[in-house]
Amino acid sequence: MTKIKTYDAGRFNRQLTIENEVELADGCGGYVSRYEAQDTVWAHLCPLRSSSVARADNSVTELTHRILIRFRPNISGTTRFITGSRKFEVQTVRDPDETRRYLECDCIERK
């Protein structure tokens, strides 16, 4: 028997904007990707770890977070969450107890 997870509504204390990647024709036979705001949700943001990654003569800090939101069908690996100037790129999405009530999203924030 699957244990059903419950979350206190007070944990959803951060307002995030959901943006999904869309592809637009560039007029030359290709496409350009950009993000389009879809909706705003209340979420619980939990930092997990940080690391420093060397990229092209530059060190980038990557912070990993778990973001908990109420279930939505339009969240995928091409989604990102925005709050102020912070951007969280979704890496994985899971329904923790398969009841379609909540989603746990593992995300990366790059600084």
Which DSSP symbol is given to 101? S
For residue 92, give its domain range.
9-110
pLDDT tens string 75-100: 999 999 999 999 999 999 999 888 99
Domain CATH number, residue 24: 2.40.10.270
pLDDT at 1 over 60: no
Write out the two tokens for 64. Answer: 């990993």
Q: What local confidence, expressed as pLDDT, does residue 65 receive?
A: 96
The reply to whether 2 falls in a domain is no
pLDDT tens string 38-74: 999 999 999 999 988 777 778 888 899 999 999 999 9
- Give the confidence band of 8 by pLDDT, cuts at 50, 70, 90: confident
Q: What local confidence, expressed as pLDDT, does residue 54 receive?
A: 78
29: CB partners within 8 A, 6+ apart:
none
**What is the rounded CA–CA span in Å between residue 79 and residue 91?**
9
The reply to whether 3 falls in a domain is no
The reply to whether 72 falls in a domain is yes
**What is the rounded CA–CA span in Å between residue 55 and residue 95?**
33
* Count of alpha carbons within 13 angstroms of residue 60, beta-carbon side: 12
Tell me the pTM. 0.83
Q: How many separate domains does the chain show?
A: 1
